Structure 1
Amino acid sequence: MRIERVKLYAPELEPLRRFYRETLELPLSEDGANAFTVQAGASRLTFERAGSDSDEAPYYHFAFNVSANKIAESVDWLNGKEIPISPVNGRTIVRSESWDSDSVYFFDPAGNIVEFIARHRLRNRSVKPGFSSEDIENVSEIGCAADDVNELSRLLRERLGASVYLGGDDLFTPLGDEEGLIILSSLRRNWLGSNKPVRIFPLEITVRTGKPGEWPILHYPYSVRTY
């Protein structure tokens, strides 16, 4: 499943614009007073100014696929840019045997939990030395908080034709594949790579399925577009 675009919300855009454009060196593809978009490889990541009626500033978890052989280099790259890495159980690089992947977590200026993930089942090794923004291939995960993971999973599997990726339960269910995953997470846990509880905030996701459509997601402030 390919995630073409993700739209997230934030109260302050300028720190995010500088972070993604200047620090992570992602090209700015759209810009305006109330929103901007960067090109992250094959995906677009949009931030729109959040309304002032929210009691809590939105924050999200999302991941970028990076070149499978560059996770260690990505740590050096982040360190060189003075971006603190968020360890998990004391580990800078988090290994998942079941997913055959290695991940690094860090925060952006809005407090979003950002992940670089090297998926070794993908044939996306790079022969170029070091790490650069060219090794950021796409938005490969977007977290969706759910008060009922199983209910939301059933709906999205039906609408998107997506399958559960390597198993799930009522706390955590990923839908899709290595190219793109919608991560359904219960409100009863924290986002990995942080001590932040999973919370529901508005977001929009655009995925390629071959069947155009747009629809709301139950009672959630989410919108999914397909084409």
Structure 2
Amino acid sequence: MRIQHLLLPVSDPGSVARYFSTVLELDTDADQVRIGWSTLQLEPAGDRPVGGVHLAFTVPHNRFVAATAWLDARAQRQRDAEGREHFDFGGSWDAESIYFTGPDGLILELIARRRLPASARTGIFHGSEMTCISEVGLPALSVEAMQAQVEATLGLAPFSTPTPHFAPMGDDEGLLIIVDATRRWFPEQRALPNADGIQVHLGGITPGATLGDAALGWQLRSE
């Protein structure tokens, strides 16, 4: 599954676009940010809340050390309660990642998945090497019920064993992170999840399916 287009409400599209352009070195055009095969479109949030949105971006696994040094020069990493700021995930994840805070309190992540292709690039990392939006966090009042809807409507299976509070749905190329609306985001455990106004267009699955959570304000569509 691929996250092809993601509409994100923000407090100030211009300033958020500048962050992605100048800090993360991504190609921007007005309110749109290109991240590999994904497009992040910014729109004014209006009365919608901002903050508590989680997005992850994929970097090639053989460029993760360079990407970490690159990020450390321009942002402060988030840490968990034990002070860790680098996370290695085994099992079905087979990945490593680092987290940082973006504008509007975005919980952002660089993740390297070892099963995805390596890069031919060497030397200093550049933001243009990010290959896609890898994950989007989607809160749910019942994770189990939303997991069942995602499976039935979109045909996506759990990526790892789901729990009552957390169900990643999809594959290495793209994941919907279904989380309990009362579960605070890893690693800092400060912000509650928010996806109000987020609209996601998905590729690589059966087209024409739609799914959303009217109470929490997010929508999915497959193309």
With normalisation by structure 1, the TM-score equals 0.89
State how far apart, in whole Å, the 2-side matches of 1:7 and 1:19 are.
17
Tell me the CA shift for residue 199 of structure 1. 3.7
Q: CA RMSD in A?
A: 1.7
Do residues 118 (structure 1) and 112 (structure 2) align?
A: yes
State how far apart, in whole Å, the 2-side matches of 1:176 and 1:102 are.
18
Q: 5 Å matches for 1:6-25?
A: 6-25=6-25
State how far apart, in whole Å, the 2-side matches of 1:185 and 1:146 are.
6
Q: Mind listing any 5+ residue stretches in structure 2 that lack a counterpart?
A: none
- Cα deviations across residues 11-54 of structure 1 (Å, max 9, x unaligned)? 2223211110121111114x2xxxx11000110111210113x4
What percent identity do the matched residue pairs reach? 26
1:66 to 59, 69, 92: 59
Indicate how the Cα distance of structure 1 residues 153 and 215 shifts in structure 2: closer, same or farther if over 3 A, else same.
Answer: closer
State how far apart, in whole Å, the 2-side matches of 1:186 and 1:166 are.
16
Tell me the CA shift for residue 213 of structure 1. 4.2
Q: 5 Å matches for 1:21-170?
A: 21-29=21-29, 31=30, 36-52=31-47, 54=48, 56-81=49-74, 83-88=75-80, 89-98=82-91, 99-170=93-164
- Cα deviations across residues 135-186 of structure 1 (Å, max 9, x unaligned)? 2000010000111001111111111111111210110000000100000001
Which SS does the other structure have where 1:69 is aligned?
helix
State how far apart, in whole Å, the 1-side matches of 2:211 and 2:150 are.
11
Which SS does the other structure have where 2:131 is aligned?
strand
Count, aligned residues: 219
Which residue identity is paired with 2:21? R
Tell me the CA shift for residue 225 of structure 1. 1.6
4+ residue runs of structure 1 moved beyond 4 angstroms?
Answer: none
State how far apart, in whole Å, the 2-side matches of 1:108 and 1:71 are.
19
